[in-house]
């Protein structure tokens, strides 16, 4: 595949006579299969990467909190956009139906973890109300999603 054999030439110098006329292996590496595999992987990642983003665009607040470890089960995300619309994953849900839907989802899931994504312009009372419904719906492990790189506070309370 990657190595070839150099045939005995017409020169027939001292080196070939010592080896008994054997052909010596070629010491070149064929990189074409490697390049082909890398191009296929590049195309796969280019196609798959847009699908990894949660569908509803919100402007998340910035914090210095670190990311949470990943799970085996697909994470459940509840989103509150700038208009105050509530969505579970990509499906828009009316506020009065949210509790019933969360209870139905909680009964089918192993994990009680849920991610709350709220636009930074949404009033605090709306976010807390949604968190209360999530807790009443059977999800006791609620994580708030933020963007990293925001301003933090040091131990003395000053801005970093």
The answer to whether residue 127 sits within a structural domain is yes
Range 45-60 average pLDDT: 76
Q: Quick one: 71 and 42 in the same domain?
A: no
Count Cβ atoms within 10 A of the Cβ of residue 125 and give its class: 0-12 exposed, 13-18 middle, 19 or more buried.
exposed
Question: Is 90 exceeded by the pLDDT of residue 36?
Answer: yes
Residues 72 and 120 in one domain: yes
Are residues 99 and 45 part of one domain? no
Q: Quick check: is 86 in a domain?
A: yes
Containing domain of residue 124, as a range? 56-148
* Whether residue 111 is found in the same domain as residue 46: no
Residues 106 and 128 in one domain: yes
Residue 18 domain-assigned (yes or no):
yes
Q: What are phi and psi of 74, to 5 degrees?
A: -60, 130
Average pLDDT of the chain to the nearest whole number: 79
pTM of the model: 0.52
Q: Does one domain contain both 42 and 119? A: no
Do the domain assignments include residue 160? no
The pair phi, psi for residue 109, each rounded to 5°, is -100, 150
Do 45 and 88 lie in one domain? The reply is no
Average of pLDDT values for 37-54?
84
Query: Of the given ranges (56-60, 78-82, 112-116), which has the lowest mean pLDDT?
Result: 56-60
- What's residue 106's pLDDT? 87
Q: Are residues 101 and 141 in the same domain?
A: yes
Residue 129 near residue 84, CB atoms below 8 Å: no
Please tell me the total count of domains within the chain. Answer: 2
Sign of the C-alpha dihedral, residues 107, 108, 114, 118?
Answer: negative
Is 158 contained in some domain?
A: no
The CA distance from 64 to 149, in Å, is 6
Q: Which residues contact 92 (CB under 8 A, 6 or more apart)?
A: 85, 86
Q: Are residues 46 and 67 in the same domain?
A: no
The residue assigned the tokens 């990311």 is 67
148 CB contacts (<8 Å, ≥6 apart)?
Answer: 62, 63, 64, 65, 66, 67
User: Does 28 fall in a domain?
Assistant: yes
Identify whether residues 32 and 63 lie together within a single domain: no
Question: Are 96 and 111 found together in one domain?
Answer: yes
Q: List all residues 6 or more positions away from 38 whose beta carbon is below 8 Å from its beta carbon.
A: none
């Amino acid at each position: 595949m990657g190595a070839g054999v150099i045939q005995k030439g017409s020169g027939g110098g001292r080196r070939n006579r010592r080896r008994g006329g054997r052909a010596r292996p070629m010491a070149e590496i064929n990189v074409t299969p490697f390049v082909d595999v890398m191009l296929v992987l590049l195309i796969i990642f280019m196609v798959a990467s847009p699908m990894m983003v949660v569908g509803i665009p919100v402007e998340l607040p910035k914090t210095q909190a670190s990311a949470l470890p990943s799970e085996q089960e697909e994470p459940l995300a509840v989103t509150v956009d700038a208009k105050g619309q509530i969505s579970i994953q990509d499906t828009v849900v009316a506020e009065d139906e949210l509790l019933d839907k969360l209870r139905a989802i909680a009964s089918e899931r192993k994990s009680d973890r849920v991610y709350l994504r709220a636009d930074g312009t949404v009033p605090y009372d709306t976010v807390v109300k949604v968190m209360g419904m999530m807790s009443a719906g059977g999800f006791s492990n609620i994580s708030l999603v933020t963007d990293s790189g925001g301003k933090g506070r040091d131990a003395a309370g000053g801005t970093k």
